[in-house]
Amino acid sequence: MAGGAILTCGLLAACGPRSVPLPTVRTHPAQLVLTLAELPYPGFQAEPATPGAGPRSNRTVAGGSREQLATLRRQGRVTGFVADFSRPVSVAQAVGPVVIQSGATVYRTGADARAALDRAAAALTAVGDTQVSTGRLGQAAVAFSSQRTAVQVTYEQYAVEWRQANVLNSVVVEGNAQTLDLGYALSLARLQQRQQRP
């Protein structure tokens, strides 16, 4: 996913002394993302047919490009999974998230995942997103906000990316800019973080 600037303390040093490397997480990424039953907001439905949702193998992400596939393997990427959820409501009248995306990508090592987090932050910065603080989350984390307007409604998007051992996690929420704040994304990220087990 994307994947968004001064990097937060989470990205630079996990907001404290350098942490001891954690054991490698070997759980399949499909078991690390949020499920519909875990969402704390009513009215959401799973969107498994959304482009980019579901299993995200290296071959899938590479899209037929041998060069991109080689790059992904060189970067230590193993596989990933993305779950998409949406709420069939009017964005103009909605309070809170309308779209939620939860992702997890497994890398061979924690160092590979750390480099992936750096790349994600650089990509979000490059497209002009605004970095915001995450507080303590995982071993390192970044978060970005962005806005766009469609049909006279201003949408807000918050993207949170964080690393736990060899897993790069992400949570993205979108909704009416007047009613959405970073707290929604961070609460979901902390819920997903509880599932990170070696």
Would you place residue 1 in the very low, low, confident or very high pLDDT band (cuts 50, 70, 90)?
very low
- When pLDDT is averaged across residues 175-182 and rounded to a whole number, the result is 91
Instruction: Count other C-beta atoms under 10 Å from residue 120's C-beta.
Output: 24
pLDDT of 63 = 94
CA distance 32 to 45: 18
Q: What is the CA radius of gyration of the chain?
A: 16
- When pLDDT is averaged across residues 167-195 and rounded to a whole number, the result is 94
- Give long-range contacts, CB 8 A cutoff, 24+ apart: 37-43: 38/191, 39/85, 39/100, 39/188, 40/187, 40/188, 40/191, 41/87, 41/96, 41/97, 43/87, 43/88, 43/89
The model carries a pTM of 0.84
| Domains observed in the chain | 26-193 (3.40.1000.70)
Instruction: Count other C-beta atoms under 10 Å from residue 68's C-beta.
Output: 14
Lowest mean pLDDT among 13-22, 122-131, 153-162, 172-181: 13-22
- Per the CB < 8 A criterion, the answer to whether 80 and 59 are in contact is no
pLDDT of 69 = 97
CA distance 82 to 134: 21
Higher pLDDT, 198 or 60: 60
Amino acid identity, position 39: L
pLDDT tens digits along 70-83: 999 999 999 999 99
- Measure Cα distances from 163 to 13, 53, 109 in Å: 12, 20, 11
Place of tokens 């160092």: 111
pLDDT tens digits along 11-62: 333 344 455 555 788 889 999 999 999 999 889 999 988 888 999 999 999 9
pLDDT tens digits along 83-106: 999 999 888 888 889 999 999 999
CA distance 159 to 132: 10
pLDDT surpasses 80 at 168: yes
Q: How many residues does the chain have?
A: 198
Q: Where are the alpha helices (DSSP H) in the chain?
A: 9-13, 58-62, 66-74, 110-126, 182-193
pLDDT of 14 = 38
